[in-house]
A and B are shown apart, each in its own frame.
Chain A
């Protein structure tokens, strides 16, 4: 099996969020970056499990600058076989998806994995775009994935439940919690990762169809009103009359 996992980087979950240049740029000063949890914990691990069971290769691809090599090495340490970094600034989902589709089109991949979303911009867009660009089926928010020959059975979350789909042939899947269990890279993996191939290719030219022009912070909550635990009638009154939510 040839498996491709799209990996992205995202600020570490407790990173302080601030902006510069008149609130037009994210301030990356002092921010630690991590592999996007959905890509690392679920997509990548499930791809490795499938390879372990069926043979084949797991390739990871990232669109980004050279500083991303750290997180790419981590994916190799967890167990991917090889990596490609497409050298460019991933300004938008559209740009990123074009790069990935262009890279994957002649790769003969059986399954292309993405995470359900990146936890910074919460886009949830790249997977569907790659699928459309390659004219492949797309199963989003998959919580389980099993492969038998050229058919795959995928469980995906839908509002208030889930559904089980059967897909024939290659497809794109976005991974959500449940698809696999997080793996921590061990010493041997980290050593081996240093010797695995990390290819760098140049990005193709793509127009930005959407871009961020301004950031702002949400309105601050006024400070908390503490309620006497003996007086729940008072809380209910406030919820009705002051907050107007009941």
Chain B
């Protein structure tokens, strides 16, 4: 069996969980086994787990699991994996998934690969799976030599597809682990804008913006697109934009469908975080800017003219 932990921060099944379930279901299909989705609590959107291929839903509904702590969650997921004899445990490559992956791998004595981007292949020795390495400059195939595997799925790398199953829900009870961690507060940006690691559309800007007071045109473009905003590292370092917007080798790596970069030169460390984007649009007034080499579409002009014009053009088709 393939066990997928379907994350539900804020009591909601999110896109990354649906991708993970669909990935688990495709893996199960190729290996001739079944796929179970594990949820904590009673999240909204559980129907979608069946829609995207879960054969069964395992639910742990216990106040001890209200807040994510890696010690408590890893033990619970590993216990379920053992009880159900799961060959592969699938997580999302999110902040939660990353803090669980190593723990679960140790508990299950399983080989692990984080941030995978392909469906596992069955090999004689075990399974093999691909992930992007060297900040997107290469791909590596990992072979897992142990009986069990734990994988975390990179967002936006395997398309979620409907499979329409009608899973039954089984409620499980597991003994929570001890924890010395207490969550004091959570601060989240409000609104419907996707957080950067999950965003499909991203509008990003760099030092070419001259100063934080000019970001209105970037926000307006993001707004009409329904996109999330990002920035280059010096922009975050100078405090023009919040740190969580910093993308690149030392920021976050993203893989949106569309990445629009305005006033960013395209240094290798910046590209490292964005070069897996499906489509890149670069706006830069310097025809020699290295970013053009990594772009699908380029506009060589002053961003202060081009960005508002692009916003208008998008408004027209959205109207």
Contacts and interface: CB of A to CB of B under 8 A. Distances in A.
Chain B binds chain A: yes
B103 A160 contact: no
B220 interface: no
Interface string A205-230: 00111111111111001101111011
B144 A177 contact: no
Interface stretch (B21-29, B32-40, B112-120): B112-120
Given A232-B313, A243-B278, A93 B250 contact: no
A81 interface: no
Given A177-B243, A235-B310, A140 B145 contact: no
Most buried by B among A37, A122, A171, A240: A122
Interface in A171-201: 171, 177-178
B106 A97 contact: yes
Contact of A229 (B95, B197, B301): B301
Interface string B82-115: 0000000000001110111111011101111111
Contacts of A214: 140-141
B9 interface: yes
B112 A125 contact: yes
A169 B180 contact: yes
A158 B9 contact: yes
A163 B185 contact: yes
A215 B101 contact: no
A159 B195 contact: yes
B167 interface: no
A113 interface: no
A161 B306 CA distance: 31
Q: Which label, helix, strand, loop or mixed, suits the secondary structure of the A interface?
A: mixed
Interface residues of B, number: 96
Contact of A224 (B105, B145, B297): B297
Interface residues of A, number: 80
Interface stretch (A43-51, A57-65, A102-110, A128-136): A128-136
Contacts of B301: 229
Given A161-B195, A177-B246, A246-B317, 15 more contacts: A17-B134, A37-B250, A94-B105, A122-B135, A140-B98, A166-B182, A177-B243, A208-B145, A209-B111, A209-B144, A212-B142, A215-B139, A218-B136, A239-B279, A243-B279
Interface of A: 11, 13-14, 17, 19, 37-38, 92-94, 97, 119-133, 137-141, 143, 153, 156-169, 171, 177-178, 207-218, 221-222, 224-227, 229-230, 232-233, 235-236, 238-240, 243, 245-246
